[in-house]
Amino acid sequence: MSILQIIHTQLANTVWLFFLILGVWGVFRAARGLGVDGNYLGATAVGQLLFVVQIVLGVILYLGGSRPADSFMHWLYGAFSLVFVPFVYLVWMRGDDSNQSQWVLGFTTLFMFGIALRSITTGAG
């Protein structure tokens, strides 16, 4: 296994754990009646950057000849992970920072935790 494959695998574990913590934190904040703040948005942006790095590594591995077990679904989950959180923020929330938006973003990040786990299962071979 090449060093890039090891980094890709370990970063995948980091991503699902990060989004699990982020989702639990977001739902906890929403349950306390808080709205979306800069700390939570910044952490969400860091999560998105982790997905971007993961996808760049995946593209490099793919071009190098490494193929995931279920290639189409693995790439589909990767593409979805790039657009879902920005879509929710820009189209659904429209920059709103209310408590309702905190609920939406909290559950969005929990959903991304599931997407990260599912992506791992389609890439494992």
Span 82-93, average pLDDT: 93
**How sure is the predictor about 67, in pLDDT bands with cuts at 50, 70 and 90?**
confident
Confirm whether pTM is higher than 0.85.
yes
Mean pLDDT of the chain: 92
Q: Domain ranges for the chain, please list them.
A: 3-123
Query: Residue 36 CB: number of other CB atoms within 10 A?
Result: 25
**How sure is the predictor about 124, in pLDDT bands with cuts at 50, 70 and 90?**
confident
